[in-house]
Structure 1
Amino acid sequence: MVVRIKSRIWVDKDGQELIGPGIYSILKAIEETGSIASAARKLGYSYKFVWTYIKRLEDVLGVPLVESKRGGKERGVTELTEVGKILLNYYESMSREVEEVLKRWEQKFSNLVETLQTAVAEVEKEEEIPYYEEE
């Protein structure tokens, strides 16, 4: 028997999403690829969707999350700003802590389910009606 507790974390400010699984994956992909276009391809999103999502979040926060540099040998690169990196790190840290709590609660629920199954089995055993053959 395997008990799993699942959760997803969203952080809102006045009803506006600051970070959740979606923007986390976008920021992480930009950090890994160095490009909004590459991040969008990697995640299966359009460039416009990713760019719009980032800009909406930047408007909510009031600070830039990405910085693009054009030209050169690398044909331009997009990097997370310090705020973008901090947001990413906070979300990763929060996710790790929540996972630790979930693991502890999974064990507690596993124990509870085992106890309940044992109790039900004992009640069913007590309620068995013996079978007697007539002679």
Structure 2
Amino acid sequence: MYFKWNKLSFVVVKIKMRIWVDKDGQEILGPGIYTILKTVEETGSIAAAARKLGYSYKFIWTYIKKLEDVLGAPIVESRRGGKERGVTELTEIGKLLLSYYESMNKEVEQVTKAWESRFSELITSIKQYAEVKKEEEEIPYYEEE
């Protein structure tokens, strides 16, 4: 394989990471439940969060209840009735989960940016080892018998 480099070559390296938090082998927090909890917090409703995310109410409710069972503590608190037709809010524990997850993601983002920079430098530096092909290599024709 041959590479042709010029002085204006620009290397874009992207490191991708996602965080999941398990407790005794059971997932308690990851990108999916984070998005669900964040949307419930923003909309104030499990039904509205379900509509916004394209999930069923039952799916989100079951997911939240499963998380509450694993943690042994309430994550959301719902109140029925009134002008607002009921409200669902995150409990302090639910808010802490979101806050911790957001903090972890920010720290991981800083680390990945540093590593992206390092890898970009590494890839750029290997150009000294690349061979520049001066002539087109002829590919031999192979005919099956």
Q: TM-score with structure 1 length normalisation?
A: 0.89
Q: Secondary structure at the match of 1:17?
A: strand
Residue 120 of structure 1 and its aligned partner are, at CA, apart by 2.1
One-letter identity of the residue aligned with 2:54: G
Q: 1:73 aligns with which of 67, 83, 89?
A: 83
User: What does residue range 54-69 of structure 1 map to in structure 2 within 5 Å?
Assistant: 54-69=64-79
RMSD value over aligned CA atoms?
A: 1.5
Q: Distance in 1 between matches of 2:50 and 2:117?
A: 38
Measure the CA separation in 1 of the matches of 2:24 and 2:80: 35
Match of residue 120 from structure 1: 129
Match of 1:86 in 2: 96
Higher relative contact order (CA 8 A, sep 6+): 2
User: How far apart are the structure 2 equivalents of 1:93 and 1:16?
Assistant: 21
For residues 110 and 76 of structure 2, the distance between their equivalents in structure 1, rounded to whole angstroms, comes to 30
Cα distance in 2 for partners of 1:23, 1:43 equals 12
**Identical positions, percent:** 72
The structure that is helix-richer by fraction is 1
Q: How many Å separate the matches in 1 of 2:108 and 2:121?
A: 20
Question: In the alignment, which residue of structure 1 is the partner of 2:60?
Answer: 50
Residue identity in the other structure for 2:73: V
Map of 1:33 onto structure 2: 43
Deviations 1:83-133 (A, max 9, x none): 0000000000000000000000000000000011x2223xx26x97xxxxx
The normalised TM-score by structure 2 is: 0.83
